Amino acid sequence: MDRAVIFSIAFCILVVLVVPSVLVRGCDFGVEPREEAAGPTLKVFVVATGKLVEMPLEEYVRGVVAAEMPASFGTEALKAQAVAARTFAVKRMKQFGGAGCAAHPGADVCTDHVHCQAWISDGELRKRLSYLEYYTYARKIAGAVEATAGKIVTYQGKPIEAYYHAASGGSTDNSEDVWSTAIPYLRAVATEFEAREPRFEQRLELTVDELEKKLGVKLRQKKVTTYKVAGKDVQVVAEERMDRPIEVLSASRAGRVKDIRVGDRVFSGYSLREILGLRSTKLTYQVVGDKVYFTTTGYGHGVGMSQYGAQAMAQAGKSYVDILKHYYRGTEVIASTGLAAR
């Protein structure tokens, strides 16, 4: 083989395989350790390992952004997610007067997304992506976190409950319409940006028997019919489906179910969503023959920042501050250094 051809092949291998691999192994999300050491640290219960780990706040935020939002999203959306994730953590950090993680004593937060926020380590992110993807996305995430370092969302000078969800399905909801407490900055918003979200429609099909077993309910009722047989009254008892086996009792203005009766029991929309594995409580239903169909719109609880709505705003040229102040009404974005440690 010609020496020039061999040299060209070797050079291509070096550029395409070796150099990116070296860069990836050395990038570590693209943030210098000395910057992390200067900031606060928090205690994180890592569910995957069952261990309590102390780590710099900014390192934790990078792991949350990597786990909670697609890195393909716009930079301003990623920045908004970083600030929301940081605020969520600071609100719970004991050194700032927070109560910590109720599910794991000794921890400020945990990595269970149902209870706190999802989080993945740098090593886990490497496993999920090819090394070229890792290099691109890790740097992008790190850049969003670094650009907002120390920034949190506050209401009347205090860190907020920075709740967020995947997609509102057209409108977010007031906190009291989903949970029991009215929080002044968690107000319903419905604008052109939410209208650009993916609808995330999901259709769940169950038989009546399956629904009864999952919920522990009866959608049938006994019906007694009396017949005259040879001059005598004969009663025949049969089970028939209720005329209205399912009934929405209350719903939010955005259309999320608050209370619903299924058969002989009443459920909150939240508990029905959890039991049936629905994406959202913004739902409709149909009973056809022996089948029950639930159709949901949106993804998540619908309170606070919509992540796909944030992406729509970023695509429309809005800044991360615009995004945060849109979803968290009457708030300010400040440096967390203004908070007094306790």
Host H or E run for residue 178? helix 175-178
Structural domain boundaries, residue 54: 3-198+301-338
Greater model confidence, 180 or 85: 85
224/186 same-domain check: no
Specify burial of residue 171 (Cβ count, 10 A radius: 0-12, 13-18, 19+). buried
216/114 same-domain check: no
Residue reference for tokens 């009973």: 287
pLDDT given for residue 20 in this prediction:
46
* pLDDT tens readout for residues 251-298: 998 899 999 999 989 999 999 999 999 999 999 999 998 999 999 999
Note the helical H segments in 160-222: 175-178, 192-195, 208-215
55/108 same-domain check: yes
Residue reference for tokens 């615009």: 322
* pLDDT tens readout for residues 196-243: 888 899 999 999 999 999 999 988 766 666 667 767 766 665 566 687
- To the nearest whole number, what is the mean pLDDT of the chain? 86
206/289 same-domain check: yes
Nearest to 201 by CA among 133, 295, 268: 295
Of 31-35, 278-282, 332-336, give the lowest mean pLDDT range: 31-35
190/210 same-domain check: no
Which residues are CB-contacts of 175 (< 8 A; sequence separation ≥ 6)? 163, 181, 182, 183, 186, 303
40/186 same-domain check: yes
Quick check: 278 and 214 in contact, CB under 8 A? no
65/138 same-domain check: yes
Question: What is d(CA 252, CA 119) in angstroms, rounded to the nearest whole number?
Answer: 31
Host H or E run for residue 312? helix 307-315
Quick check: 304 and 329 in contact, CB under 8 A? no
pLDDT given for residue 220 in this prediction:
76
90/183 same-domain check: yes
Q: Is 332 helix (H, G, I), strand (E, B) or coil?
A: strand
193/220 same-domain check: no
Which pTM does this prediction carry?
0.82
Phi, psi of 233 (to 5 degrees): -80, 125
Question: What is d(CA 195, CA 318) in angstroms, rounded to the nearest whole number?
Answer: 16
Nearest to 244 by CA among 264, 227, 226, 271: 264
172/287 same-domain check: no
Question: What is d(CA 252, CA 186) in angstroms, rounded to the nearest whole number?
Answer: 14
Q: Domain total for the chain?
A: 2
Q: Is 220 helix (H, G, I), strand (E, B) or coil?
A: strand
User: What's the alpha-carbon Rg for the chain, to the nearest Å?
Assistant: 26
120/264 same-domain check: no
Phi, psi of 338 (to 5 degrees): -80, -5
Question: What is d(CA 175, CA 181) in angstroms, rounded to the nearest whole number?
Answer: 6
Question: What is d(CA 108, CA 196) in angstroms, rounded to the nearest whole number?
Answer: 36
pLDDT bin (cut points 50, 70, 90) of residue 190 is: confident
234/141 same-domain check: no
Quick check: 185 and 163 in contact, CB under 8 A? no
